[in-house]
Structure 1
Amino acid sequence: MLRIMLIKVPHYGYVLTDAQNLPRFWAAAWALLIGGSLAPSTLKQRLQHIEAFYRHAEDGRPLGMLDDAIADQNLGILEEFLESYFITLRNVPDVSSGAEQRWRDAVEFVRAISERLLRTPDVSARLTDITLRLERLDRLYGQLRVGKNNAPHFVRALPAAVLSELFELVVPGAETNPFKAPATQWRVYCTFLLLLNVGLRRGETLTLRADFLKTENSPSGRQFWLNVQTSQDESEDPRHSSPSIKTVSSIRQIPISRVVAEAFYTYSENYRGRQKHPYFLSSMRGQPLSAEGVNHFFKILTASLSSTTIKTLHDRTGMSAISPHDLRHTAAVIRMKQLLTRGDPMPEVMQKMRSYFGWAATSSMPLLYAKAAFEERLNAVWGDQFDDRVAMLMELPQ
């Protein structure tokens, strides 16, 4: 049986291996030469897509056939692999959004390694031939799309009714809280606040170190903020899916309110416990909280919502479940609405949004949330009907 596995090697990172647990040659070369500039989470995803291409290419064929075809630049075999892979991805009733990225990554993998071979001295005599082969690959596959996504793009901001019920579920000590252990309740609550109130990505939340919260006294009172920064020991992270900072723009300082800071202090001092790892959020087993753990929290929270709230969620957003990233979308809509209501000029609003949420200086992402904030139904949703718990989200630290 064909055995290709993506494994995580301590102090090194992710490696694609064969049946003998040896690294697949060109996948390893790609990871070192091209994947080195990617965040660990992105590199893992790309290697998973390359792994899927290897599995397809060698299903029922000799082990190592894809590596040999790339090394020999056997265009006939590579075209056969790519074309059959495209048909396999396309020939399903419902083409998933991830299928397009798997196809793109497979083509880019073959092309990137082929380009590297052009720089090898012993193929200089074949330079023209290989160049023509790359141009042919571009012509054949550059414009192919696995599926067409005609669905309109919309921002998945949670309706007020959904958000209010979520707060009733996650507040520590609440009768409706589906998590029984106090430590788990506070762990979920702090995760919830980091995603919604602070607007962090899931990976950013999981990379926060135990000393992430900072404070200082100023003429206007005590100020609190947190630092989103890269971890210096990602290779030693025991989690299989190592979280990471997405881009350089994601490294930033974010001001937070006193009530949110106090919640983080409460968890840290009373429920986190003494841990051997340096991360703020810890699992019940004393390990750094994982992405799978956060996803599990949201599965439980979604299952605990009332049928009426689930219907509201589906009617407003088309979703039947809540993900961690939905809270970041919601935070961005709230923040955009705050800035616009305050009367800040649009260019200034755009730049503040980019800085706060860790987008690049030229990112157009704030425009999506500006559209959502201007929609009449969201204007009604984000009104003044919040209770004290939800009202803390409306605070805008300077």
Structure 2
Amino acid sequence: MVWPVVRLHVRPCGERVPLLVDRDIGVPLLLPAIYVMTALRSHAANTIAQQLAGVQVLLLWCHAEGISLDDRINSGVLFRGHELDGLWDATARPVAELDKAIPASLRSSRNLVRLDKRPSALTRETVGNRRGAVRRYLAWLSERRLFALGHQPDAQQTYRSARDELLRSLEARSTGQGRRSQIRHGLDDDERRALLDAINPASEANPWADKAVRQRNLLMITLLLQLGLRRGELLSLRVEDVDLQKGQVRLLRRPDNGRDSRRRQPVLKTQGRLLDLRSDVIELLSIYILQVRAAAPSRARRHGFLFVDLRTGRELSASTIEKIFHRLRELPGLPTKLTCHVLRHDWNERFSRTMDEAGVAPAMERQLRRYLQGWSSDASAAAYTQRHVTARANEASIRMQERFAPARSSDDE
């Protein structure tokens, strides 16, 4: 059988194109490849990969059930109700479990390796993304078939009715399944103090021995804390994006950068923006650029990215960032789930408190947050403001309880 797996293809121009390939021979699967090139290519590489992960589950489920997807699409006899239930159940399971459902006669003679590193209980977001991807791919396949029917009005009408019924059935089944994602919070005051102590180059708690590494990591974590950046935004910064004279840093989208040797190129997920910096942050940037980074191998000067591996001069990778936070998570006083994204939540919670203290109107607060975080709408803010909203709601509840508390009788005294 063909065992589909998502692989990232880097074109000579630097474009990153995820493709669904046959794991055993590495050849892209034809229809998913056409789908990527015609329907998904305008999206970011990570988004394309998420869509293909749903297509991967669809193809594996079809193999497990002995269903020829091509035959179903071409004949117009799409899926029955119980089959759709089984498909939707498969979208909520890790890929490794789908392997167990494939008959032994259809398996490769080779030992199969785990293709999916997701936890055994997938989050609702992951399940929802998979189901949306399956529905969009089936809609695309059936649209191609409609076009191929040409000038056959009766056949087209019959096929269109079956297709519309399929899509309606899938939509009706798209209710939540899977575990809820754990609500992320920022740091409390003690954790924040412990983190600031750990990244202080002069602190005994600092886990790195090399002075230059200490200075680089101090700057990176300071930018995450002070600006609420995503990991990709931090790693995509270039030296030319920093204006030490004006005290500003510019965040720009540069997808498919041919000068970036990292296979999975970090890019801005949202809109670009120009941010002002406090004087102490500017000083950290100046020390790092003019002293620490300048002493790195010459490779660093050729690619121009701000944060580099100080031993090789290569662009700093996402895995190195993860190693940095792994070291920090081992320190006393710091949360065991500390990540870049936790610091982004921390920034948003501190921003909410700052706006409350300044008496900024909610509408203006939303506009300011949208710009500073690079969001095009307010929808993304909900996940980052939940802790602050919960605290304010409980404060309001306590005030109401105190205001409307029934008078206590003398027997209670």
**TM-score bracket for this pair, using the shorter chain length:** 0.7 to 0.9
Q: How does 1:283-302 map to 2 (within 5 A)?
A: 283=309, 284-302=311-329
Which residue matches 2:265?
242
| CA apart distance, 1:329 | 1.0
| CA apart distance, 1:327 | 0.6
Higher relative contact order (CA 8 A, sep 6+): 1
Which residue matches 2:407?
none
Post-superposition Cα deviations, 1:168-194, rounded to whole Å, max 9, x if no partner, equal 112224221222333332332222122
| CA apart distance, 1:362 | 4.7
**Greater radius of gyration (CA):** 2
| CA apart distance, 1:154 | 4.9
Structure 1 residues 291-300 or 43-52, which shifts more? 43-52
Decide whether the 8 Å contact of 1:333 with 1:373 is kept in 2: no
Letter in 2 for 1:357: Q
Which residue matches 2:46?
41
Which residue matches 2:254?
231
CA distance in 1, matches of 2:255, 2:235: 14
Which of 241, 255, 262 lines up with 2:283 in the alignment?
262
User: Closer, same or farther in 2 for the Cα pair 1:257/1:48, shift >3 Å?
Assistant: same
User: Closer, same or farther in 2 for the Cα pair 1:145/1:303, shift >3 Å?
Assistant: farther
CA distance in 2, matches of 1:192, 1:48: 32
* 1:72 partnered with 2:74: yes
Which residue matches 2:109?
none
Decide whether the 8 Å contact of 2:72 with 2:78 is kept in 1: no
CA distance in 2, matches of 1:127, 1:298: 56
User: Closer, same or farther in 2 for the Cα pair 1:243/1:337, shift >3 Å?
Assistant: same
| CA apart distance, 1:369 | 2.5
Which residue matches 1:7?
7
Structure 1 residues 19-28 or 3-12, which shifts more? 3-12
CA distance in 1, matches of 2:8, 2:227: 31
User: Closer, same or farther in 2 for the Cα pair 1:210/1:144, shift >3 Å?
Assistant: same
CA distance in 2, matches of 1:110, 1:172: 55
Secondary structure (helix, strand or coil) at the match of 1:197 reads helix
Post-superposition Cα deviations, 1:230-253, rounded to whole Å, max 9, x if no partner, equal 116435533232222223xx2111
Decide whether the 8 Å contact of 2:272 with 2:374 is kept in 1: yes
Q: How does 1:362-373 map to 2 (within 5 A)?
A: 362-363=378-379, 365=381, 369=385, 372=388
| CA apart distance, 1:167 | 1.4
Which residue matches 1:337?
353
Letter in 1 for 2:21: T
* 1:108 partnered with 2:110: no
Structure 1 residues 88-97 or 191-200, which shifts more? 88-97
| CA apart distance, 1:70 | 6.8
State the percentage of identical aligned residues: 19
Which of 316, 323, 326 lines up with 2:339 in the alignment?
323
CA distance in 2, matches of 1:10, 1:168: 41
Secondary structure (helix, strand or coil) at the match of 1:8 reads strand
RMSD: 3.4
| CA apart distance, 1:142 | 0.8
Secondary structure (helix, strand or coil) at the match of 2:330 reads helix
Post-superposition Cα deviations, 1:88-120, rounded to whole Å, max 9, x if no partner, equal 344798443323322322222222332344345
Decide whether the 8 Å contact of 2:199 with 2:214 is kept in 1: yes
User: Closer, same or farther in 2 for the Cα pair 1:71/1:147, shift >3 Å?
Assistant: closer
Post-superposition Cα deviations, 1:350-376, rounded to whole Å, max 9, x if no partner, equal 211111111114546269638607826
Question: TM-score scaled by structure 2?
Answer: 0.75
| CA apart distance, 1:23 | 1.6
Question: TM-score scaled by structure 1?
Answer: 0.77
CA distance in 2, matches of 1:113, 1:202: 36
Letter in 2 for 1:288: E
CA distance in 2, matches of 1:120, 1:246: 37
Aligned residues: 357
Gaps of 5+ in 2: 95-119, 396-413
